[in-house]
Structure formats: structure tokens, C-alpha cells
Amino acid sequence: MSSTISRRALLASTGSLLAAAPLQMAWGQSGGARPVTIGLVTPSTGTFAFAGELIGQGAALAVAARGGQVLGQPVRLITRDDEGKPAVGVRRVQEAASSDGMRFFLGAYSSAVGLAESEVAQREKLLQYAAGGSEDFTGSRCGRYTFQWSAHPYTAVRATLEHVRKAHPDKKKIYSLSADYVFGHALLKYTQVVAAELGFELVGNDNHPLGERQFTSYLTKVVTARPDILFLNTAGADAVTAIRQFSSFGAGRIAVVGPWTLEVDQLPELAPEMRAGMILGQNYYPAIDTPANQEFVKLYQQRHRGAPGYAAAYGYDAVRSLLLAMEQAKSAEVGAVVTALETMRWDGVLGPMSVDPATHQTVRPYFVVRCKAAAEMKDATDFAEIVATSTQTQPAALNACKAMPPL
């Protein structure tokens, strides 16, 4: 499917358009100027299927908010389904680059997919602005053409456990459940690091496969170990399943904590009594009090039901940041945009933003929320309150990124 639509038509029908894939949208046709093509290589099927359409919604709003143009060139968004599979993601990136002139792309909701796509980005000189949770994006597999929008897993774990230590000083023993792929491995690694830094004791961990549907055996081990905290180093549908099943164990004395576990997009899938009191790290929360976020939430709620979550915010803020970098560089050439991102500072949806040029990790705030009981909720989307914010970055001594190569 291919279409060229006006900004007004986009704003009237973004939701229905983004439900289709593959999708091509262009705005602001400007005297035959060459379009700037940004790819959304995202999952529409699999464990993270919910994310694809939401990322597209946010990205479309970011383009529309700037009149559909950058530097007098029309901006075109195209979407491709990576199916949550690395081989498929690589193929989709290669196809979009060769057939559609794509030079910039988002996606990587699965770290395994994004890391595979990063290899293509380096080889083909495509700018990738990723959202996976693996430290390898800005660590051992860093590259000049890959940037990481999401927080580093060290930041996520440190922010979350720092709040737990302050709010629940009596809770010291942790049992973790970790997704058995690069995302969960990174969170587990930094759970071990931060637990030692802050005086927690990790009394056990079990890894589970992606797509697990039966957590009973894992949770039985958790309850038997009698920890103070169940620490969920997993996300998406797996996290929802684990929490639902844990609620039937009657182990209320064990606090459920997740450094990067559930976003606003998944919280409605849990009954209020299941999520009440949970402490969750958040890459994004709609109550963030910044001018850019207030504008984003307003735009989103005008076009879609409910409050935006992590996926939509990522799509919006990453595309917005790329367009700002093009304006900073006065160019839409990939090399110039890479250099601009490495040096600029800007006010993003999350707050003050910059990029560490040595690793390409976006330096940004990370948020911790406490989920509310039903009686505390002001409305159906008032899931939680922000209780802590952190900008603490990964210690340089723990980073495995070698010197960035030349462009």
C-alpha cells in the first residue's frame, strides 16, 4: 500500500492508516523535492505485537506537528513488520533501504531484532534510533550509526532499586525472574551489580523463555525462597502473565518490582488489585511534566483514546529528535545527522536530552512509579504516580564500547 496524504487528512485518520502494513505516508510535497524517508521497522505480530501500531501513531504525530517537512523536504514514513524475528528484521531493513530509499529507521522493540538490524545499519550507513533494552546497543556491539533512545539497563535498575531502598528499607532479599535473551540478561547483570552497590541480597534467579505461558513452577520456587521482593526482569505479555499467576499465590508480603517490566500500554491488562502497590521503572509516563510532553499528550489524546505509553512516546520523541538533528545539521544526509545528534542538547518529551558521543546512549531521565489501588485512581487511566526520577548513567568502567569508528 502506498499513499500520499495531506496533514489534515493524516490528523483525521492516523489511527486507521497505521493499522495497515506495509504503510507509506508522505506530507508536504514541495516542488518535487526528494523526500526524507524514515522507516518504522516494528513488530505487528509476536510477543511485542502491540507496539508496532503505537510506535507508528507517535511517529506520525511528530511528523504532522512539524508540518510534514524538514528543511523544505517532505517527510515520508514507511512501516515494515519485523515479526519479532531477527532474520525478518534484517530483511525488512535491507528491502526498505534498497527499494524505498530509507536512510533512517526506528524500531528494535526486541533487542535481539534491533542488534541484528544494527549490523545492517553500520554496513549500509543507515541511522538507527533503537528502543531495545540490551546494553549491547551502546556497549560491545555499539556502532557509529546506531543510537539508543531508551534508558540504559543500569539506569533502569539503579533508579528502581534506589526507590525501593528508600520506600521499603526493611526489604533486602530479591528473587528475580529474567527473560532468557539479551534484554533479560542485561537487566539480570545490572540487578547483580546494583544489588551489591545498594546492599540488597539476590537470593535466586530463574530465566524463562520468551513467550512463556506457565510461570507456576518458577513462582513456586520464589515463594519457597521467602524473598522480600519479586524482581521481574521481563516485559510485555510475559510480564502480564507472570503477575496474573503470582496474584493467585496469596504472597502479599512479597513486593512485586519491575525495573523495565510494564508500561502504560500493558497496565490495563491487569486488574487493579493485581497491580496495586507495584513499583515499576518507566522509560516514559504520561504525567511527565515537561512542555514537550504536554504537547505530545494533547496531540495524542486529540487523535486516539486514552493516554499515550512508552511505544507511542518513543515513536514521537525519536522522530522529533531526528528532525531536530536535521535542522541542527542543516542537512538530511545521514553523516551530518549523526554528527548533530552526537553534539546537540535539546528539550525532549522526557526532559533535557543529549547523547553520549562515546557510546551513543541517549542521556535522559528515567522514572519510577507506584501503581495505585482502585480507590486512589481518579479515572480509568490514572494507573500510577511518579515517585522518583533518575538520570544516573552507567559507570564508564562498566561500558564495553570501543572507540567509535569514523563515518
Range with the poorest average pLDDT among 58-72, 158-172, 301-315 = 301-315
The total domain count for the chain is 2
160 lies in a domain?
yes
Q: Kindly indicate the confidence band of residue 126, based on its pLDDT and cuts at 50, 70 and 90.
A: very high
In terms of domains, do 171 and 73 share one?
no
In terms of domains, do 122 and 244 share one?
no
Q: Kindly indicate the confidence band of residue 365, based on its pLDDT and cuts at 50, 70 and 90.
A: very high
On the question of pLDDT at 333 being above 70, the answer is yes
On the question of pLDDT at 98 being above 90, the answer is yes
* Beta-carbon count within 10 A of 167 CB: 14
Looking at residue 51, what is its pLDDT? 86
On the question of pLDDT at 3 being above 80, the answer is no
- pLDDT (mean) for 155-173: 98
Q: Kindly indicate the confidence band of residue 24, based on its pLDDT and cuts at 50, 70 and 90.
A: low
In terms of domains, do 211 and 329 share one?
no
In terms of domains, do 165 and 242 share one?
yes
Q: Which residues contact 40 (CB under 8 A, 6 or more apart)?
A: 52, 55, 56, 59, 77, 78, 79, 80, 105, 106, 107, 315
What are the Cα distances from residue 91, in Å, to 24, 79, 102, 389?
Answer: 18, 13, 13, 38
63 lies in a domain?
yes
Cα angle value 181/43/74 (rounded, 5°): 130
- pLDDT (mean) for 164-183: 96
Q: For 276-322, what is each residue's pLDDT tens digit?
A: 999 999 999 999 999 999 999 999 999 997 889 999 999 999 999 99
The parent domain of residue 329 ranges over 36-151+288-364
In terms of domains, do 359 and 373 share one?
no
374 lies in a domain?
yes
| Cell numbers that stand for 260 in this block | 523495565
405 lies in a domain?
no
| Cell numbers that stand for 215 in this block | 510461570
- pLDDT (mean) for 379-405: 94
In terms of domains, do 202 and 306 share one?
no
CA 355, CA 395: separation in Å to the nearest integer?
Answer: 15
CA 340, CA 328: separation in Å to the nearest integer?
Answer: 6
Looking at residue 298, what is its pLDDT? 96
Average pLDDT over all residues of the chain = 91
On the question of pLDDT at 70 being above 70, the answer is yes
On the question of pLDDT at 50 being above 60, the answer is yes
CA 27, CA 83: separation in Å to the nearest integer?
Answer: 27
Looking at residue 197, what is its pLDDT? 97
In terms of domains, do 182 and 315 share one?
no
10 lies in a domain?
no
5 lies in a domain?
no
On the question of pLDDT at 23 being above 80, the answer is no
Residue 348 maps to which CATH number? 3.40.50.2300
Looking at residue 44, what is its pLDDT? 87
298 lies in a domain?
yes
Give φ, ψ of 384 to 5 degrees: -160, 170
15 lies in a domain?
no
Q: For 208-260, what is each residue's pLDDT tens digit?
A: 999 999 999 999 999 999 999 999 999 988 999 999 999 999 999 999 999 99
- pLDDT (mean) for 108-126: 93
Looking at residue 109, what is its pLDDT? 77
In terms of domains, do 256 and 167 share one?
yes
In this structure, what DSSP letter does residue 124 have?
Answer: H
Q: Kindly indicate the confidence band of residue 110, based on its pLDDT and cuts at 50, 70 and 90.
A: confident
Pairing mode of beta strands 366-371, 384-390: antiparallel
pTM over 0.85: yes
In terms of domains, do 244 and 296 share one?
no
- pLDDT (mean) for 336-358: 98
**Residue 111 class from Cβ within 10 Å (0-12 exposed, 13-18 middle, 19+ buried)?**
buried
In terms of domains, do 254 and 372 share one?
yes
Which one has a higher pLDDT value, 335 or 34? 335
Which one has a higher pLDDT value, 86 or 2? 86
Looking at residue 236, what is its pLDDT? 86
In terms of domains, do 199 and 122 share one?
no
In terms of domains, do 134 and 110 share one?
yes
Q: Kindly indicate the confidence band of residue 31, based on its pLDDT and cuts at 50, 70 and 90.
A: low
